[in-house]
Structure 1
Amino acid sequence: MPMNSFHDGAMLFIYGDNKVESLGEAMEVFRSCSASLKYLEISDCDNLKSVVSGGLEHLSALEELKIVCCDNLNESEEVERVSFCQLTLLSLREMVEVPNWIQYLSALQTLHIDDCKKVESMPNWMSKLTSVRELAVGCCSAQLKERCQESTGEDWPNIQHIPDIGIS
């Protein structure tokens, strides 16, 4: 498609692309819609390893990022100049820990983690995310649920600053 067709797009879905390994491959598309794109969903991209390097920093208007069924994501990459406020991680069956790059999302207000059953704890850097107002964790491991119990859970000190917490 011509690059100017993305110029005013508010939503972009990347679905089922097994060739893409990094969002850096979509950098030109992101540059063309940097001021208008508010919602980005990446789903069923089996070879996707990186969502933050080489792409997201161009999306100055981005408000929400949703990542679904992308099991090969790098959990430890770093983020620079990314300021969206809502992140959803859904059905990341191979994810064993909350990705470290989330700690750099200073504008993040809502974090949803759903059907990521191998995640068993909340990292201690969660306490640095002072802008987060809502944490929703669903279909999680029994261990994560136990560790996040109010007052008694081992990870409670990492998330207790968040006003709205739902763990199921």
Structure 2
Amino acid sequence: MDELAVLPDGLLQNHTCLHKLSIQRMRSLRSLSNQLNNLSSLKSLSIEDCDEVESLPEDVQNLNSLETLKICGMPKITALSVLPSSLATLRILLCEELTSLSEGLQYLTALKDLELYKCLKLNSLPESIRHLNSLQSLRIFGCPGVSCLPNQIRHLTSLSSMHIRGCSNLMSLPEGIRNLEMLRELEIEDCPNLERRCKKEKGKDWPYHRHQWTGNTVLGDLKNI
């Protein structure tokens, strides 16, 4: 439905038992405002390739049953609005203009899985990441603008897996990573600055990270950091 700019009034208003909603390739759609209010049972929401949508509707934060949110191919979204605290999985893919996650992340205390993929203008993770006490998996792929990770990452006490790939300007890992007692898997690939700093026995950060180093990948059991 390439020419549809708005969804028909009432299209989603009476679906109180709906569990999954996927909106894809509606190239002219401009807004989803006032469409999600009554979706009280919605558990999974995916919005993909909607080129003209500039922001998530405010009523997303009222979806108290929502567990999974995927946002993909949304070139005009620059920031996240407040998201429901029930979220367990958040995937943000190919949102090239996204610059800020601050507001969207601060209340996600149930979030277990966070993935960022090719968000080219994102330059850092917000300090509010400290509130993600349930986060178990963090994946950051193809985000060349990210130059650092906040030291507040030390508060992610449930984090067990972290994968960083294709972040060419990421200069170093925060010292707070040593406080992550549950972290068991760390993979770093195609991050040349980190490769130099973590080079076995020679890199500046090698004393901080006791990992097995192979090529462009750091893999290891971090229990004894």
Using the size of structure 1 for normalisation, the TM-score is 0.76
Q: Does residue 58 in structure 1 map to residue 111 in structure 2?
A: no
Kindly report the root-mean-square deviation, in angstroms, between the aligned alpha carbons of the 2 structures: 2.6
Q: Could you say what secondary structure the match of 2:195 adopts?
A: helix
Residue matched to 2:197: 147
List aligned pairs for 1:94-113, cutoff 5 A.
94-113=145-164
AA at the equivalent of 2:140: L
CA-CA distance at 1:112 after TM superposition: 0.6
CA distance in 2, matches of 1:89, 1:158: 21
Q: Note closer, same or farther for the CA distance 1:72–1:101 as it changes in structure 2 (3 Å cut).
A: farther
Residue matched to 2:43: 8
1:77 to 111, 119, 126: 126
AA at the equivalent of 1:131: M
CA-CA distance at 1:64 after TM superposition: 0.6
Higher relative contact order (CA 8 A, sep 6+): 1
Are the counterparts in 2 of residues 135 and 165 from structure 1 also a CA contact under 8 Å? no
Identity across aligned pairs (percent)?
Answer: 30
Residue matched to 1:19: 76
Residue matched to 1:136: 187
Q: Note closer, same or farther for the CA distance 1:157–1:6 as it changes in structure 2 (3 Å cut).
A: farther
Structure 1: runs of 5+ lacking an equivalent: none
CA distance in 2, matches of 1:77, 1:130: 22
Task: Give the paired residue count.
Answer: 157
Residue matched to 2:91: 41
Deviations 1:14-55 (A, max 9, x none): 1122332222x2x2xx32xx33x322110121221222x222
Deviations 1:66-114 (A, max 9, x none): 0011122242631242121111000012222334553442322211100
Using the size of structure 2 for normalisation, the TM-score is 0.59
Are the counterparts in 2 of residues 78 and 104 from structure 1 also a CA contact under 8 Å? no
**Larger C-alpha radius of gyration, 1 or 2?**
2
List aligned pairs for 1:88-99, cutoff 5 A.
88-99=139-150
Q: Could you say what secondary structure the match of 1:55 adopts?
A: helix
Higher helix share: 1
1:159 to 206, 209, 223: 209
CA distance in 1, matches of 2:73, 2:200: 38
Residue matched to 2:47: none
Deviations 1:107-144 (A, max 9, x none): 22211100112224323332233332211001221x42
CA distance in 1, matches of 2:43, 2:125: 32
Q: Note closer, same or farther for the CA distance 1:6–1:157 as it changes in structure 2 (3 Å cut).
A: farther
Are the counterparts in 2 of residues 103 and 125 from structure 1 also a CA contact under 8 Å? yes
Q: Note closer, same or farther for the CA distance 1:96–1:59 as it changes in structure 2 (3 Å cut).
A: closer
CA distance in 1, matches of 2:207, 2:42: 44
